[in-house]
Amino acid sequence: MYVKKFEELSKSDIGIAGGKGANLGELTQAGIPVPPGFVVTAQAYEYFMDEAGINDKVMSILEKIDINDTKELQAAAEEIKKIINEAPIPEDLVIFIREYYNELCQRVGEDDTDVAIRSSATAEDLPEASFAGQQDTFLHVSGDDEVIEFIRRCWASLFEARAIFYREENNFEHSKVYIAVVVQKMAIADKAGVMFTVNPSTGEEIALIEGSWGLGEAVVSGDVTPDNYQVDKKDNEIINVTISDKKVMYTNDENGTSVKVEVPEEMRKERVLSDEELIELTEMGKRVQAHYGEPMDTEWAFEKDMLFLLQARPITTLGDAVEEGESESSDLGDVLVRGLGASPGMASGKVKIILDIDELDKIKEGDIMVTTMTTPDMVPAMKRASGIVTDEGGVTCHASIISRELGIPCVVGTGDATSTLKENDGVTLDGKKGLVFEGISETKEEAATVQAGAVEAAPIITVTEVKANVSMPEAAEKAAATGADGVGLLRTEHLMLTSGIHPGKFIADGEEDKLIDTIAEKVQIVADAFYPKPVWYRTLDAPTDEFIALEGGENEPREHNPMLGWRGIRRELDQPEILKCEFKAIKKLHEKGYTNIGIMIPLSQNPAELRQAKAICSSIGFEPHKDVDFGMMVEIPAAAILIDEYIKEGIDFVSLGTNDLTQYTLAVDRNNEFVAKHYSEEHPAVMKLIERTIRKCAEAGVTCSICGQAGSVPHIVEKLVAFGITSVSSNTDAIADVRKTVARAEQKIILDAARKRLE
């Protein structure tokens, strides 16, 4: 009951042996080569705490602390560890442990054999909960007295500050978390590392192997950037070998203690695993995955020519893997550093370089943490970061595992990020490709924050539709995953900006068809992601100062104030060839079945523009209102004031573009920081125009939406719902909050009406 050999345990014994111990038992029973050992069970820990009479004392200390007060947390952790270290261990337990250890020594034919002593925590009600990396591991322990002392240290490590913090953060009751201790013959590895039996970022069926010289500690701790290998599991074809500069390794000194030493110069860039060894490992990986029936994360070691598995656990992060296509890096600045993609997703923020644990306060919400290698004490600060970059480590090091669990994009093993990146510079990282780019990318922030929305948004149903604004086809999939009711604004000019070519150039080169195809291809991605929900394609709103940068954009006029200049529908009516191509692209998509796409014209200041645009659409055999929904943006006060006339002209829907409506109502250039303080969508004049537009549309039965930034601000959205808006289109990251706000506002309206009836 208190001590069990690996042979006596299986994976169903997590409650006794913890995840690690149960797995070693399961592997042993499955015939996978594992160094022999035993587990001092969770019940042994419970027995010790009960017999020593220290349980209540420990729990009462924990009840009182504020875990966010680092000093208080540290002091409590020290006090509890002292209590555990001074308490007597029951004699019968001591005898058991000695017996099992001595038997192990006999089995391997060594006196006082070297063992590894590892913590294996388990939660009473949730045995599958993960406490990876929270408690201590001790290597090269030998002799029964030492073994007993280090088992005690493992028990005490259940109360390390970081472990207490982790349990509180994840709502585990301290009194229901126990600790088993694994005692295992040390494998004296010549080379060691980790193997994922599928790609942990994408789920692809390859063996992803990392290896370095000496003990596995170097890889797991992130002290070294290991070699990285990929083997196709179908035919054992080695598809990738990346050899890195392995500067350090762990090895045994003359006392058997593990020490970090420099790798001899000639071995640093030498390949660690041969083709044969890779295949042997892959085959073992396949057996382990087949045995468990799921992808596994394993630690392996070669001792001489013998391969051992030291650990195996299910890959916990696969469900969070980001879809292919999300991490599109093409529109970003220069690559500043390269490393390994350790946790997929994109993140932008300011660089904060952490060279010392005391500097963690520097990390504010949304910053990019750049450090040599993360440690468990850094977890609270890692949670505040939007992305993590390390000099060292491989895809299974601390930074990698934790960032995947937290869902934070991460790039590891860059070699020199802490010296190359500059404090406070804006960067964007691609956690899938392992790249860090110069500059902040708005689109990437949008992509990185979608997942939270996706989780929260689903169950709330509202009558007022909540849609998404989309600018980049690559962001469409994630925007759709939020459960958004459609796309209330597809910004075509962004599609063109990413294509890099000025639409006028296609026309000048006589390549109209190419322009039509370029637009259709990109819009189709969005229409596909949302099908059959509506997607409102906004015709080009091309500001001269942005389009000048495109290939073929040299002839753009230099305007005094581009915001008041040649953009929106007025420009399109001057260049009807481009507008025609856009309509043809949408027509083409309708013919392919994407009838969910509607057309919306931007920046109109008089109804004649709407009439002319519709005429151009008709001229290509695509009849507004009949073949395609045709609507307009209200972005200029004139349009809001003349909304009845637009309605008379015929519109299927309206969308309030409050970004422009605010700047034109208040005479404040939205791009000019000198007047930014005068810019407010909530200015009474702007709100009046908004309310008027919504009410007039409601009276006429015309759908009215909003796609300006005000539609992503919950307290403004509340007012819009009260005015009678039919849908709200928000930034993807705001969708979950907006949906809640809309639901609350709708319920308030119903409640107020019911109360009125009762009066």
Strand order through the sheet with 115-123? 3-5, 37-40, 177-185, 115-123, 137-141
Partner whose binding site includes residue 707, from ligand PEP, Mg ion, none (CB under 5 to 8 Å by kind):
ligand PEP
Asked if 489 interacts with ligand PEP (CB under 6 A), we say yes
Instruction: Give the x/- contact pattern for ligand PEP in 97-126, rule: CB under 6 A.
Output: ------------------------------
Asked if 657 interacts with ligand PEP (CB under 6 A), we say yes
Contact between residue 706 and residue 424 where contact means Cβ atoms under 8 Å apart: no
N-term to C-term CA, the chain? 70
# binding residues, ligand PEP (CB under 6 A): 10
Q: What is the dihedral of CA 672, 674, 678, 679, to 10 degrees?
A: 20
Task: Name the minimum Å distance from CB 694 to Mg ion.
Answer: 18
164/476 with CB nearer ligand PEP? 476
Contact between residue 274 and residue 307 where contact means Cβ atoms under 8 Å apart: no
* Residue 561 neighbours by CB distance under 10 Å: 10
Q: Which of 613, 651, 708, 732 binds ligand PEP (CB under 6 A)?
A: 708
Asked if 660 interacts with ligand PEP (CB under 6 A), we say yes
Instruction: Give the x/- contact pattern for ligand PEP in 530-549, rule: CB under 6 A.
Output: -----------x--------
- DSSP annotation of 256 reads S
User: Does the annotation mark 398 as catalytic?
Assistant: yes
Contact between residue 410 and residue 431 where contact means Cβ atoms under 8 Å apart: yes
346/470 with CB nearer ligand PEP? 470
Task: Name the minimum Å distance from CB 666 to ligand PEP.
Answer: 13
Look-up: residue for tokens 């160094």?
A: 35
Task: Name the minimum Å distance from CB 702 to ligand PEP.
Answer: 18
Task: Name the minimum Å distance from CB 720 to ligand PEP.
Answer: 13
Closest CA to 256 of 138, 136, 156, 150: 138
485/635 with CB nearer Mg ion? 635
Partner whose binding site includes residue 575, from Mg ion, ligand PEP, none (CB under 5 to 8 Å by kind):
none
Asked if 491 interacts with ligand PEP (CB under 6 A), we say yes
Out of 398, 494, 625, 683, the active site residue is: 398
Give exposure, 717-731, as e/b (b: 16+ Cβ within 10 Å): bebbbebebbbbbbb
Angle at 110 between CA 311 and CA 16, to 5 degrees: 35
Asked if 635 interacts with ligand PEP (CB under 6 A), we say yes
Asked if 659 interacts with ligand PEP (CB under 6 A), we say yes
227/635 with CB nearer Mg ion? 635
**Alpha-carbon distance 574 to 560, whole Å?**
19
589/601 with CB nearer Mg ion? 601
Cβ-based neighbours of 264, under 8 Å, separated by 6 or more: none
- The alpha-helical segments, DSSP class H, found in 472-556 are 476-481, 492-499, 503-508, 512-530, 544-547
**Contacts to ligand PEP from residues 154-193, by CB under 6 A:** none
Task: Name the minimum Å distance from CB 667 to ligand PEP.
Answer: 15
Task: Name the minimum Å distance from CB 490 to ligand PEP.
Answer: 10
309/706 with CB nearer Mg ion? 706
Task: Name the minimum Å distance from CB 479 to ligand PEP.
Answer: 15
Give exposure, 162-176, as e/b (b: 16+ Cβ within 10 Å): bbbbbbbeeebebee
Look-up: residue for tokens 């992305």?
A: 387
Interacting residue ranges for ligand PEP, rule: CB under 6 A: 489, 491, 541, 635, 657-660, 707-708
Give the residue numbers marked as catalytic: 398
